[in-house]
Amino acid sequence: MVWTDGYVEPPAVPTNGSTIGYPNPSIPDGEHFVETEIVHSGNQSTPLFFDNRTALYSEAAVSTDKLSIGPDWTVGGPDTLSLWVYGDPNNPTTERMYVKINSAKVTVNPDLKQAAWQEVTINLASVGTNLKNVSTLSIGFERTGGTGGSGMVFIDDIRLYLPILQ
């Protein structure tokens, strides 16, 4: 997957305070920017760094043409977007996490200080955007106070789910 974030090479000014993936991989081959030990399932998760001390928000986005489902999120009838978040006890409590589908923002409330996997679910019917033409999926953090904080979470298993049959 190809995500865009706020990272730019200095001395340019970042567009926002996010960096997705390890910016300076410590793996000897220099190609691993993902996390390979703290994972929810599979072999990797992605670190998402946020820094709202100088930016009002930190956001990483992916174009749906880079996703296997593509832009039509009504195919098969999913009703829920799910993602797993792993926090850090050193994270600030001053930031609010959100997910955007196109430009429709949904605030989510995982405990950003909890060093354990937490599922975040979003009812797609409540988002208020055209699910037949989704162009971007974004994950971000916005500043809630006068001064922002910085930290990092791991993200894994972003999925669309069908309704549970009763």
Residue 83 lies in a domain: yes
Host domain of residue 148: 3-161
What integer is the mean pLDDT of 56-69?
A: 91
**Total domains, the chain:** 1
What integer is the mean pLDDT of 19-38?
A: 73
Q: How sure is the predictor about 54, in pLDDT bands with cuts at 50, 70 and 90? A: confident
pLDDT 10s digits, 114-165: 999 999 999 999 999 999 999 999 999 999 878 889 999 999 999 999 987 6
Residue 149 lies in a domain: yes
Q: Which two tokens stand for residue 109?
A: 């409330």
Query: Which residues touch 70 (CB under 8 Å, ≥6 apart)?
Result: 64
Q: How sure is the predictor about 14, in pLDDT bands with cuts at 50, 70 and 90? A: low
Residue 166 lies in a domain: no
- Find the Cα–Cα–Cα–Cα dihedral 110, 129, 78, 142, rounded to 10°: -10
CATH code of 31's domain: 2.60.120.260
Residue 30 phi/psi, 5° resolution? 70, 5
> What global pTM score does this model have?
0.89
Spatial separation of the C-alpha atoms in residues 58 and 15, rounded to whole Å: 9
Residue 128 lies in a domain: yes
- pLDDT reported for residue 15: 75
Residue 154 lies in a domain: yes
